[in-house]
A and B are shown apart, each in its own frame.
Chain A
Amino acid sequence: MVLGVAPLLSINTLYTVYFYSANALTGLMWISIIPLVTIAFLLTYLHKYTWHKLDNNKPLHISIIAAAVLVFLFIPLIFLTNINLMLFPEKWGTIKGFVSALTLPNVFPRYLHFICASMAVTGLFLFWYVGRKKYAFESYFHTLTRYDIKKKAYSLTFAMSLFQFMIGPIVLLTLPSKGVKWNLILVIFSGAVIALPAMYQMWKAITGPPENIDRHYGKVIIAMTITVLFMGSGRHIYRANALAPHKKLMAAKTAEFEKISAEARLHPPVEDENPVEIDSSLGGAAKGAAIFQSNCSACHKPHEKLVGPPMTEMANIYHDNEMGLKSWIKAPGKKRAGYPQMPGFPQLSEADLNELTKYILSIK
């Protein structure tokens, strides 16, 4: 899982808008990957560390790992649904949550394809793991031999790879045609061809004499790795093919937006409504009135209570204490019951404060 962060990061960077939109559309299910993976790992540890304690209760012990397996099997489905959804910006307007995203074509073939590939890799891994010299095989297994397990592991990989040859075309056929181009077909086909000799070697190893089972393991690994690389590139090519037209349209829209945004910055809109009413008799208090309008008028009116008390009241209290009014505005406290506390205005400059208080105290 931790290993997955880098691909996640790179997808984030390469397909930001597409990936994030798909995430948001399946939000709850997408975020639930985190607790699900945590739970699955905790269950696996529970299984491991209760191996001896639950010797007499095998059903319970097996249920624990079975639960973990079910959770682990569900997680890729969420991932694949998201990655699939990301490829179809034209469908986003019709998707209503995770279940609805599941019904897009290609989700389940893709899922099967992925699970089979994981099983095939697991087979190859087990083959290597039990074959290591340092591995104390005899102290763990009493009825099975190394050969038995290697043969089973190889058979698993072989069967799964064979199955892939059937699912692969289905995955390809259910992909919406917008991304299927000759470059994709070529890469996928080459990948499949490279897997063929490896399949042949595995078949010979499984059916041949036990002492020959290890003979071509290295070659099998190399061929299968190349196949995986080709298939991975295939996925990337499809993604690029499928999203290229939409990306182009978006780039045009973005450029247009940046242009008009820059224009608007050069000619900012004039706030013409609610002009500050300046009483001509106020004279020098006009600037203070404007400051009042933008900072205080939402909560204070001249003669009546709004959120805070009317201004005539302030003028009354502070008529001979301008300093007091100023420091109150900068950092107010809680004074009366029934009124919410006023927020402070530390950002007002000393000059602005002077104008403001001059205006407030001039109100009659």
Chain B
Amino acid sequence: MAVGFIPYITWLEQRGVRMSGTSQITNPVWDDMVYRKMKVAFIITTTLGAMTGVGIWFSAALISPSSIGSLIRVFYFAWFVEWLTFVTEVVLIMIYFLTWKNANTTLKSKLRHIRFGWFLSIFSWITMAIIVSILGFMMDPGNWNKHHSLLNGFTNPIYLPQLFFRTPAAMVLGGIFGMLLTTIFAKKHTAERSIALKSASKWILLWAPVALVAAYIYYHAMPEAMRFNMSTAVGTIEFSQYYKLLSYIIPGTVSLVVIVSIWALLRPRSIRFVIVLVPCLAAFGFLGIFERVREFIRKPYVIGGYMYSNLLREEDYPLYKRDGILKYATYANTAEITAENKLAAGRDVFMLSCSRCHTTNGINSIVEVFERIYGAGKPLDENSMEAYIPNMHNGRTYMPPFPGNKKELKALATYIRHLQLSGEALGGAQTEGVTVNPQNNIQAAEELMKTNEKTMADNELNK
């Protein structure tokens, strides 16, 4: 939000000085209105904005620890620089807002304040430019295995298109939000209100066409495999809804925003809060869907060509297929599957290979997914599921292949059937705790160390 809103505010502040009479520094009514808008932005950016930025760290590390653990090693310095600019940005926003009233005493200090606003705008944009490199890198399939480097974030083919799209989109968003605030802070039937509404319209109408062109370029710059994912993803009910919605929401939102802007430009007096609220909410909602789509089309990978979205590395799959995933898991109740522990083993397999995306009986539940295939309410057939699971990634390209061996596959099918019968919920580590795999506990590691040391000592002796 800072990317689009701050330059918009600075632009308005500058207009205030131009509009003032010869004896004034700035138009006081106008300046007060712009100040109030900035106050809202200040409160939002320093609470919600700053926290969602930090929150991404918290949630990503919880949901996808292995991928963040991998990315952070390549991008540590990019993130560090990003953090420096971000901290500076927050400090600058504080200075910009808190010195506003004091700057109104002389024309010189007012002009300095405005220059400062432009400077701040550039800074916000740089923060975004760095973040986009990391996002672009994650979406660039195959590159992880070839170039583990920071530079690649900036040279990958989606970097510029994505940056080019995000810039005008942020400006449009800032503009419509600014228009909404105008309807709250500017008194009705004043000249300032009309001028402010017209300013917002011009701002939006200037950026909207750029955003549309950029969106087109961005879509075509996306890797082929990902665009495929968009259309094949129509196959699932879950995503097809989003996908179809998307094709209405993007042009719908943009045209709604544009229509309101033209309206405000021609008949500023008739614009009310409610009229602007709808396109404003739509624009923010569009942003949410855009983020979701971006996350979805990366599948089946979380890092292209390197790590699947179940957080298992592609290169370890042959081992898992041979020996099973339970044997190498840190947290599992059973390593060897028997008739007695089949259900518990199935639950572990589910936890390790499915639970990143599927719940047992909640949102996107595994039972529901299979019922959609075989018919709702019908008893699930274990044999059919066993035949389906190893092949599902061929038809559903956003699914990672099943990692485990045959025994684990059978245990998983039994567990899914059990879930359908029992309606059981599976608690996470945060409530149930974890069981350390007996084959991978500290004792096992100590024994391994001893064997390693012994072999080394023997080798020394043999020399």
Contact = CB atoms under 8 A, between A and B. Distances in A.
A and B physically associate: yes
Interface stretch (B179-187, B342-350, B384-392, B418-426): B384-392
A343 B396 contact: yes
Nearest to B43: A45
Interface in A75-93: 89-90, 92-93
B61 A90 contact: no
Interface centre among A8, A12, A13, A97 (most CB of B within 10 A): A12
B374 A344 contact: no
Contact of B384 (A2, A31, A268, A298): A298
Interface string A24-48: 1111111101110110011001000
Contact of B46 (A13, A41, A249, A252): A41
Contacts of A89: 442
Interface residues of A, number: 73
A37 B62 contact: no
A75 B405 CA distance: 44
Contact of A25 (B228, B433, B435): B433
A344 B235 contact: yes
A35 B48 CA distance: 9
Contacts of A248: 449
Contacts of B245: none
Nearest to B79: A9
Interface stretch (B68-76, B250-258, B288-296): B68-76
B288 to A, nearest CB: 17
Interface string B424-448: 0000111111111000101011101
Contact of A297 (B372, B391, B432): B391
B19 interface: no
A20 B331 CA distance: 14
A5 to B, nearest CB: 5
Interface stretch (A112-120, A143-151, A256-264): A256-264
A41 B94 CA distance: 14
A14 to B, nearest CB: 10
Given A1-B51, A257-B328, A12 B69 contact: yes
A347 B429 CA distance: 38
Interface residues of B, number: 71
B62 A30 contact: yes
B428 A27 contact: yes
A17 B241 CA distance: 37
Most buried by B among A13, A30, A94, A264: A264
Interface stretch (B3-11, B82-90, B163-171): B82-90
Contacts of A357: none
B23 interface: no
Contact of B58 (A3, A30, A260, A340): A30
Interface in B3-53: 43, 46-48, 50-53
Dominant SS at the B interface? helix
A268 B397 CA distance: 23
A38 B235 contact: no
A235 interface: no
B436 A92 contact: yes
A5 B83 contact: yes
A16 interface: yes
B312 to A, nearest CB: 11
B341 interface: no
B62 A27 contact: yes
Contacts of A16: 65, 69, 72
Contact of A252 (B53, B76, B316, B448): B448
A307 interface: yes
Contact of B433 (A13, A94, A250): A94
Contacts of B80: 6, 9
Nearest to B394: A295
Contacts of B86: 2, 5
B89 to A, nearest CB: 9
B120 to A, nearest CB: 15
B387 A96 contact: no
A180 interface: no
B321 A42 contact: no
Contact of A346 (B228, B323, B405, B446): B228
B315 to A, nearest CB: 6
A95 B319 contact: no
Given A9-B57, A97-B430, A249 B445 contact: yes
A236 interface: no
Interface string A242-282: 00001011101100110011011101110001000000000
B206 to A, nearest CB: 32
Contact of B434 (A12, A93, A342): A93
A31 B57 contact: no
A159 interface: no
A273 B406 contact: yes
Interface string B86-99: 11001000000000
Interface in B302-353: 315-316, 318-319, 321-323, 328
Contacts of B428: 24, 27
A139 interface: no
Contacts of B270: none
Given A92-B436, A257-B328, A250 B72 contact: no
Contact of A298 (B76, B87, B391): B391
A203 interface: no
Given A250-B445, A264-B319, A343 B434 contact: no
Interface of A: 1-6, 8-9, 12-13, 16-17, 19-20, 23-31, 33-35, 37-38, 41-42, 45, 89-90, 92-98, 100, 246, 248-250, 252-253, 256-257, 260-261, 263-265, 267-269, 273, 294-295, 297-299, 306-307, 340-347
Top 4 A-B residue pairs of the complex, sorted by shortest distance between their CB atoms: A27-B430, A264-B319, A298-B388, A249-B445
19 contacts: A1-B50, A2-B50, A3-B87, A12-B69, A16-B69, A19-B61, A30-B62, A42-B47, A93-B436, A98-B430, A253-B440, A253-B444, A264-B316, A264-B321, A340-B372, A343-B397, A344-B235, A346-B231, A346-B232
Given A9-B72, A13-B72, 8 more contacts: A13-B73, A29-B430, A30-B62, A37-B51, A96-B431, A299-B373, A343-B235, A344-B232
Interface of B: 43, 46-48, 50-55, 57-59, 61-62, 65, 68-69, 72-73, 76, 79-80, 83, 86-87, 90, 228, 231-232, 235, 315-316, 318-319, 321-323, 328, 372-374, 384, 387-389, 391-392, 394-397, 405-406, 428-436, 440, 442, 444-446, 448-449, 452
